[in-house]
Every structure is written in structure tokens, then in C-alpha cells.
Amino acid sequence: MSLENDTPTDVGKVVDIQKENAIIEFSRSEACNTCKLKAFCFHKEGDVTKLTIKNDLGAKIGDDIQFEINPQMRILSSFLVFILPIIFLIGSYFLFKSAFGISENLSILLSIASVAVAFVVVKLIDNQIKKKALIQPKMVAIIKSVN
């Protein structure tokens, strides 16, 4: 099985073109509605979800397009949001307890506080990912063109 065939895709309508990017308006799929990572991918204005995507296929305003998110980026995002805070929690507890010899109760409190630090780190990494457009969805096909 190839990753391309297993990658979930969504459909949206091009509502604006800005330089080399297309602004896509769409309804989130069921997978998006339950995903805790949707903040990494999309922004929502009122009842409309919009996405800025590189216009690799030369789509025009009014075109219906199909787009997908790279599976490796989904895995990276999952790691950042779910696993990294757990690593901070457990790692900081053992660091405070063993390396610094702090009492158990204080080590627990400090390790819980380290989870907040983990989310700050996640936010900083998220900003870098967004700047480099690493997690951005890509256009797969123009489904219906308005020509």
C-alpha cells in the first residue's frame, strides 16, 4: 500500500487567488471535526472554514478542488500535541526527583508545570512549521472547473 492511496482528501471551493496561493472554502470532514490537530491546519471565520493553499494546479475562483495533508506531517503534529507533553511530564519528574533531589511532592508539581512549558514549545514549533509551510495541505486535483 502506498501512502498516496491511503491519504485522506477533502474537497473545497476556490474563493480567492492571492499571488501563488488559492483561498479554499470548505466544510470540514468528520475526521477534521474530531481531530485535536485542526488548529495546525485551518482557521475558521464564522461558519466558513478557509484554508490558504499553494495553487499548484492553476485553479481559478469558483473551481472545486481536492486537497490532502501529508501523512508524515499528521504524524509529526500528533507527536507534538500528544506525546511531547507526556515526555515533558515524565522526564521532568525524574529530572527533578533524581538529578536535583527535590521532594516527591514538589517534583510532581514541577512536572505538571512542565506540561505548560511543553505547550509553549509546541506553539513555538507550530509557528515555525507554519512559516515554512511544512504542514500545509496540497492541491491534488481540480474536480470541477468554471472555465
Residue ranges of domains in the chain? 3-144
Cα gap 29→119, rounded to integer Å: 26
pLDDT of res. 121 = 93
pLDDT digits (tens, 9 = 90+) for 65-91: 998 877 777 788 788 888 999 999 999
Q: Which residues, other chains included, contact 95 with Cβ-Cβ below 8 Å and sequence gap of 6+?
A: none
pLDDT digits (tens, 9 = 90+) for 113-132: 999 999 999 989 888 877 76
pLDDT of res. 133 = 64
Cα gap 136→63, rounded to integer Å: 19
Q: Which residues, other chains included, contact 81 with Cβ-Cβ below 8 Å and sequence gap of 6+?
A: 36, 37, 40, 122
What cell numbers appear for 82 in the block? Answer: 500528544
pLDDT of res. 138 = 85
Residue 105 has pLDDT above 70, yes or no: yes
